[in-house]
Structure 1
Amino acid sequence: METKKTARKTTSKTTAKKTAKTPAKKDAAKQLKDLFEDSLKDIYWAEKALVKALPKMHKNATDKKLKTAIEQHLNETEIHVKRLEECFASLGKKAQAKKCDAMQGLLDEGKSIMEETEAGPVRDAGIIAAAQKVEHYEIATYGSLAAYAKVLKEKDCLKNLLATLNEEKKCDQLLTKIADTALNSKAK
């Protein structure tokens, strides 16, 4: 009969062997620059998808401050797309989007919230929650991309990525303020 300690060692060795034998995709990133470029394609798709999704959120929102914040962020998101295009250009690459499964999931969730709530404060609270999930994803992504750009000495990209990161953080703070100033209480 195996002891628990022996069983854990066996399981760990088996897991390690399975992981080590997993073949890498042919187009897998081999260097940080590859990961950086692949991540740029991912967030480029995400920002373009957000440009399409924000007007739907605006249409479904009822709170004036929330509607204004969404409209403002749509304008910023269009600028984010242009900044990413500038990043691609500075790398000597054509701007290319690669479907971002994470953003697609977040947008699908936001769509579900709008479909499953009645117009008014409850839907507005749900829109804010969905929007903040998007903002947090973008903050994490732009933070990572900025770190990569710094290491890769891609100064033009770094400048653009940090500008966008700052705007994403401000948007998240604004959404929190809107929710906290009475919207969530109205939804109660």
Structure 2
Amino acid sequence: MKDSNTKASAKKVTSAKSSSASKSTVVKKTADSKSKSGSSKTTVKAKASAAEGLRDLFVDSLKDIYWAEKALVKALPKMAKNATSQNLIDAINDHLAVTQGQVARLEEVFASIGEKAAAKKCDAMEGLIKEGEGIMEETEPGAVRDAGIIAASQKIEHYEIATYGTLASFAKTLGEDQAVSLLIQTLNEEKEADITLTEAAYNTINFDATEGDK
């Protein structure tokens, strides 16, 4: 009887160990699978040198802003159509012509560094343009909508100022002197546009927009 109980007990222990080992193997395989899956998605091969990596970043950023400027060329006429103040309409139309020139200038930048001009979707500009469209949809025609259009436009200008300033710095570091000159031209134009929008907002539109609040 004792032998029978001993054998049964030993069998249970062996079974438990086997089950535990099986579970351990499954857990290990699952962990290994997750590890491999995660690493395949997040691992990016580093460049051999910092200069090579910076150049790739520079070119990628140029593609980004090239897309952004072309998208803005399509968006500005809609802003002008929804504006009420003639000063604002004129400012938007003037900047449309400037932006078209900036697109052509970016193509010169690409050529100056031996790259083909190509656009890569800019999520930031897409979001800023959508925000402006939302303001136009949610406000009545008049001073308040004009103030909203200016606010959205200045966010776009500030993004462009930051982008062109960074690109000019990259180009300088990489020794691309012609690209530096071209990018600084555009940077100065964006700063001028921002000043024009600030003056339009302060001198007329924002004051008109507060009339209904008195």
When normalised by structure 1's length, the TM-score is: 0.85
Residues 15-94 of structure 1 correspond to what in structure 2 (within 5 A)?
22-24=42-44, 31-94=53-116
Q: Which runs of 5+ in 2 are unaligned?
A: 1-37
Instruction: Provide the rounded CA distance (Å) in 2 between the counterparts of 1:36 and 1:85.
Output: 14
Which sections of structure 1, spanning at least 5 residues, go unmatched? Answer: 1-17
Q: Write the deviation string for residues 8-59 of structure 1: whole angstroms up to 9, x where unpaired.
A: xxxxxxxxxx9xx9422799x9611000000000000000000000000000
Structure 2 SS opposite 1:31: helix
SS in 2 for 1:96: coil
The answer to whether 1:144 aligns with 2:192 is: no
AA of the residue aligned to 2:43? P
Q: Give the greater-gyration-radius structure (CA).
A: 2
* Number of positions where the alignment pairs a residue of Structure 1 with one of Structure 2: 168
User: Which structure's relative contact order is higher, taking Cα pairs within 8 Å and 6+ residues apart?
Assistant: 1
Which one has a larger percent helix, Structure 1 or Structure 2? 2
From 187, 198, 205, the equivalent of 1:165 is 187
> Aligned letter for 1:131?
S
Residue of structure 2 equivalent to 1:107? 129
- Cα distance in 2 for residues equivalent to 1:169 and 1:162: 10
Name the structure 2 match of 1:176. 198
Match of 2:21 in 1: none
TM-score by length of 2: 0.75
Residue 145 of structure 2 aligns with an amino acid whose one-letter code is R
Name the % identity. 63
Say what the alpha-carbon RMSD is for the aligned residues: 1.9
Equivalent residue letter for 2:159:
Y
